[in-house]
Amino acid sequence: MTEQNERQLQFPQLNKPAPAFNAKTTHGNRTLEDYKGKWLVLFSHPADFTPVCTTEFMGFANAAEEFSAMNTELLGLSIDSIHAHIAWVRNIEENFGVNIPFPIIADLSMEVAHSYGMVQPGASDTAAVRATFIIDPEGIMRAMVYYPMSNGRSVKEFLRLVKALQTSDENSVATPENWVEGEPVIVPPPHTVEDAAGRKDKGYDYVDWYFSKKTL
């Protein structure tokens, strides 16, 4: 296996430190350390001036204030130059009336793309660079989602997922399928026979010893 293929096979790991970076962006240089103390949504695109990605950029831009209210920063990435990024941002504002408030990494060297496993074997140089990563305030990778070229991401899902992760961290609970803020959460299952036997009397929304919910 060649060194290049080994790089292409590199993936970050959940619940491990996210790969560090020091990258040129449309808002100046950015490092992972710059985001310490905040949640970060890092999302990548194969190239500027692509239609599906344009809709996603607008979606993230329109939700930027909602992310900010959750102590969450947005950071885009594309395998293109700073000048191409600036032209794309200006084009989106001129054609769609949407201002892009977040920085965009110019990753012509593909260094960040490779360190985050965005370029997958068998793909062209940039075709597979379309992924989303959620990194917590300590720089730990908490979620990774990869998408095909043909289908746009749901920005609402990332808003939901960040809120779910924050809720789990703050309350030591899990969240069920399609959970949204205000709905009941899942109580962690008991770890001893004694705790399992007494679970019904804890005041939870009890279904069985391993499955109980509560409202925060």
pLDDT of residue 126: 60
How far from 188 is each of 65, 107, 191, 216, CA to CA, in Å? 32, 41, 9, 14
Q: How far is CA 176 from the centre of its chain?
A: 19
pLDDT of residue 9: 60
Amino acid of residue 108 = L
* DSSP letter string, 29-44: EEEGGGGTTSEEEEEE
pLDDT of residue 118: 84
pLDDT of residue 121: 62
Residue 53 among the catalytic residues: yes
Give the pair of three-digit tokens for residue 174. Answer: 């899990």
Provide the residue-wise pLDDT of the chain in tens; the chain has 216 residues.
Answer: 344 444 446 789 999 999 999 999 999 999 999 999 999 999 998 888 989 999 999 999 999 999 999 999 999 998 889 999 999 999 999 999 999 999 999 998 889 988 998 876 655 556 557 899 999 999 999 999 998 888 899 999 999 999 999 999 999 999 999 999 999 999 999 999 999 999 999 999 999 999 999 999
Please tell me the distance from the alpha carbon of residue 85 to that of residue 91, in angstroms, as a whole number.
10
The residue among 51, 18, 24 whose CA lies nearest residue 36 is 18
Q: Which one of the listed residues 41, 42, 53, 159 is annotated catalytic? A: 53
Q: How far is CA 81 from the centre of its chain?
A: 23
Q: How far is CA 73 from the centre of its chain?
A: 10
pTM: 0.90
Question: Counting Cβ atoms within 10 Å, is residue 204 exposed (0-12), middle (13-18) or buried (19+)?
Answer: middle
Are the C-beta atoms of 75 and 133 separated by less than 8 Å?
Answer: no
Question: Counting Cβ atoms within 10 Å, is residue 186 exposed (0-12), middle (13-18) or buried (19+)?
Answer: middle
